[in-house]
Structure 1
Amino acid sequence: MTIQTIANALLILLVIGWIGVRQMTWRPVALAKMWRSPLIFAVVGVILLAQQVKPAAITPLDLAIVAGELVLSLGVGAWMGAIAHFRRLPQPIATGKDGRDIAVYESRTGALGLVLWVVVVAVRVGLDVLAAQAGSHLASATGIILLVLAANRLSRTAVFAARLDRHAALAA
């Protein structure tokens, strides 16, 4: 076992725990904050990839595996956004600089959201193992884990935003 494998395993466990808790508990929906985390994960992921992977070492197999992981992650993130339950907060959370409430609703995806997240991680780990056996080195890079996480959170947030816009339009 290499240090990178151990670091990846620890990162995956931390992410599963962090997102697992967030799936099961009611959390205020502050879209501005929700857009930031995928951006941060993506930037850190790209920086790590730039440090860990040489462009000349990237193969078509690497690109196909990463593209498949990203598509799966985007799809499951959208599904998570679609199954989320919303409820109005009894008291909106703080008003922003523009006079609008930062959070009016809270949400959770519950057990199904947690199961979906575990499926994404299981597929990611399985593909990582198969890709390594097939000679892919890009799929096992820590930066890819963060990009997959960013894709998932990005599509989830996009669906949240669309659902909340529809909900606000109906309430008006």
Structure 2
Amino acid sequence: MNWNWGAINQVADNVIIAAGIAWLIARQFIWRSGELKRMLRMPVVVVAAGLAYLAIELWGGFQWVAGDWLVVAELGLVAVTGTAMGHVTRFRTVAGLLQYRLTGIGLVLWAVFVAIRVGNFALASVLGANLADATGLVLLSFGVNRLAAIIVVRRRAKGFLVQGAAASMPGGSR
């Protein structure tokens, strides 16, 4: 039996990454700590991993084709969906600690994210784009989405915390 280890590795990478992303998406819908210092950690790590993975995938040689502009468009669109996710995130305080989670509309936005990714992959493959099937692009796309969402969430969380502090002051509004 002759095994194609390159193909097996590609499938295994995609399955592992898809499972990891599914787990991270599911986490978006449960209340979690809103520690402002920690919020950026995961998106930055995912973007860095995507860039590193993409560099490794392209190391053997890469030639830009016109269809690869779809990748740039995809990154812009997933940044927009991430920004929207940041705006539909809810906040609460429990025992004086900020928590946040994505609302039900976020599920629709995740479906839009997946549609963008799948649609881009299909269109890019028809146009002969080289980057569309890169595993690193999946990570980069997800990381850009999360980074855009967290930037908005952090800005909104700061406002929520300031508003909460004002409301708890004597004479503040509730």
TM bucket by the smaller chain?
Answer: 0.7 to 0.9
AA of the residue aligned to 1:147: L
Q: Deviations over 1:120-158 (max 9, x none)?
A: 012201211221121012011011111111111111111
Alignment partner, residue 103 of structure 2: 110
With normalisation by structure 2, the TM-score equals: 0.81
Q: Does 1:144 align with 2:149?
A: no
Contact 1:88/1:105 (8 A) holds in 2: yes
Name the residue aligned to 1:40: 45
Q: Would you say 1:51 and 2:56 are equivalent positions? A: yes
Q: Relative contact order: is structure 1 or structure 2 higher (C-alpha 8 Å, sep ≥ 6)?
A: 1
* Alpha-carbon distance in structure 2 between the residues aligned to 1:74 and 1:84: 15
Contact kept in structure 2, 1:23 and 1:111, CA below 8 Å: no
Contact 1:74 1:155 in 2 (8 A): yes
| Alignment match, 2:78 | 73
Q: Secondary structure at the match of 2:82?
A: helix
- C-alpha separation between the residues in 2 aligned to 1:136 and 1:16? 26
Amino acid in structure 2 at the alignment position of 1:61? G
1:52-98 Cα deviation digits (max 9, x unpaired): 11564122321x111111111111111111111111022x4xxxxxx
Q: Which runs of 5+ in 1 are unaligned?
A: 93-103
What TM-score do the two structures reach when normalised by structure 1? 0.81
Instruction: Give distance in 2, aligned partners of 1:40 and 1:75.
Output: 20
Percent of aligned pairs sharing the same letter: 34
Question: What value does the CA root-mean-square deviation take over the aligned residues?
Answer: 2.1
Distance 1:128-1:9 versus aligned 2 partners, 3 A rule: farther
Partner of 2:36: 31
Query: Per the alignment, in what secondary structure is the counterpart of residue 93 of structure 2?
Result: strand
Q: Which amino acid aligns with 1:133?
A: V
Q: CA deviation at 1:162?
A: 0.9
Would you tell me which structure has more strand in proportion to its own residues? 1
Q: Deviations over 1:33-62 (max 9, x none)?
A: 220111111111111111111564122321
Partner-residue secondary structure (3-state), 1:107:
strand
Counterpart contact for 1:24–1:109, Cα < 8 Å = yes
Aligned residues: 158
**Any stretches of 5+ residues in structure 2 without a counterpart?**
1-6, 167-174
1:11 matches 2:17: yes
Q: How does 1:98-137 map to 2 (within 5 A)?
A: 104-137=97-130
Q: Report the Cα distance in structure 2 between the residues aligned to 1:80 and 1:129, rounded to whole angstroms.
A: 25
SS at match of 1:139: coil
- Which of 125, 142, 155 is the aligned partner of 2:148? 155
Q: State the alpha-carbon separation in 2 of the partners of residues 156 and 8 from structure 1.
A: 24
Q: Per the alignment, do residues 126 and 115 of structure 1 end up closer, same or farther by CA in structure 2, a change over 3 Å counting?
A: same
